[in-house]
Amino acid sequence: TIDAFCEAEFAGAKVRTKKRKADQNSYSAFWYEDLYLPVSLPNVTSNLILRVWDHDIPDGDDLVGTLKFLYEDIVEGLYENYFWMNIYGAPKQLDNEEATKMNTMP
């Protein structure tokens, strides 16, 4: 399992969660934390980036996956409800040789 943590980045500012050991049965990690990032308007970027990392002491942290959200979509309320996003592997609609590589080679 992984020792996961999340990192959020917007306009050069970064915040992160505490490390959580993934559950042995479901391989899921839950943080239940709020992350606060400063936002000044107008801003120079339009992307909020969320990264999930695996904490490793000897070799350094490993990137598990990345999600990008448009700031305008957040302001318009497009993410008010819970939703599922794939952070690892190929997008679900992709079915080709590249998708196979993405799903089998970490």
pLDDT tens digit string along 55-104?
Answer: 888 888 888 888 999 999 998 999 888 888 877 777 777 788 877 777 77
Q: Which domain holds residue 87?
A: 3-104
CATH number at residue 44: 2.60.40.150
The count of other CB atoms within 10 Å of the CB of residue 85 is 9
CA distance 5 to 27: 14
Q: How many structural domains compose the chain? A: 1
**b (16+ CB within 10 A) / e for 13-47:** eeeebebbeeeeeeeebeeeeeeeeeeeeeeeeee
pLDDT tens digit string along 30-59?
Answer: 888 999 988 888 878 889 999 988 888 888
